[in-house]
A and B are shown apart, each in its own frame.
Chain A
Amino acid sequence: MIPADYYIFLGSGLFTIGVVGVLTRRNVLIILMSIELILNAVNINLVALSQYFRSVDGQVFAIFVITDAAAEAAVGLGLIIAFFRNKETVNADEIDLLKW
């Protein structure tokens, strides 16, 4: 069997890539996609440790994380559509209505 460490390394690599995407990209849609990458990294860790401890609880939490990802994607994309209709942009650095 593959040791659980390998999965945790993979999870931390995916997490780091997601953080790079959130911090560096301008397009809000790609920032949302990077958040999905981060959530998937969390899920990999949860499943690996759930198999390691021979308990199914981690997989149940992974299902809750997927539920949250669905809710977050729906609300986030609704916000993006509403904002695009008003300001004609999806760039994160041009969304500055609250800045003065």
Chain B
Amino acid sequence: MLEIVTFGILAAVTLVSAILVITRRNAVHSVIWLIVTLFGVAGIYLLQHAEFLFAVQIILYVGGIMVLFLFVVMLVNIDVSLKQARFARQWQVALGTAILLGAQLAYALYNHGRGLNLQERPMLAAPAGNTQAVGMALYQNYMLPVEIASILLLVAMVGAVLMAKRKLE
């Protein structure tokens, strides 16, 4: 019972702040609400006993990526965009398409459910030592993907520095 209540609060916080992210006029407010959304998602991870991902979400997403976003929002001009239209011209068509997509997802998940067939096995509490298990998987079974991801991060870092540089000479 307590878990359901906790899940409901976290899901409500996540969804409401996600809606606020895409409707605020000021981009700084959007970043702040996105941080609230990310905290909600982190709480969802904790509820599922994924403690390592919880820590990664807060340290890397909230602490790293969102600070980067905030810097760039401050760098580009906020004052001009405050007076401009928030939504693109095609917003009615786009909203209709997205609502249709959401309805399809909800229908497929709720009405059929057989495609997923998740009802039979109730979830058990995960065993202790989630971080250890993730670490074992990362450095034993997934060693090559970890190396590829590190190269991806290196390339992204060099690319970001190169593009944000003032002049190429």
Number of A-B contacts (CB under 8 A): 239
> Is B123 within 8 A of A81, CB to CB?
no
A46-90, CB under 8 A of B: which get 1 and which 0?
011011101011011011101111111111011111101100101
Q: Which residues of A contact B164 (CB under 8 A)?
A: 77-78, 81-82
> Is A17 within 8 A of B22, CB to CB?
yes
Main secondary structure of the interface of A (DSSP, over half): helix
A90 to B7, CA, bound (A): 37
B1-25, CB under 8 A of A: which get 1 and which 0?
0011001000100110011011000
Tell me the A residues contacting B by CB distance below 8 Å.
Answer: 1-10, 12-21, 23-27, 29-30, 32-34, 36-37, 40, 43-44, 47-48, 50-52, 54, 56-57, 59-60, 62-64, 66-75, 77-82, 84-85, 88, 90-93
Tell me the B residues contacting A by CB distance below 8 Å.
Answer: 3-4, 7, 11, 14-15, 18-19, 21-22, 27, 30-31, 34, 37-38, 41, 44-45, 47-50, 52-53, 56-57, 60-61, 64-65, 68-69, 72-73, 75-77, 81, 84-91, 94-95, 97-99, 101-102, 105-106, 109-110, 113, 116, 118-119, 121-126, 130, 133-134, 136-138, 141-142, 145, 149, 152-153, 155-157, 159-164, 166
13 A-B residue pairings within 8 Å (CB atoms): A20-B22, A23-B91, A37-B22, A47-B53, A51-B48, A52-B123, A54-B124, A63-B56, A63-B138, A67-B152, A81-B76, A81-B164, A84-B76
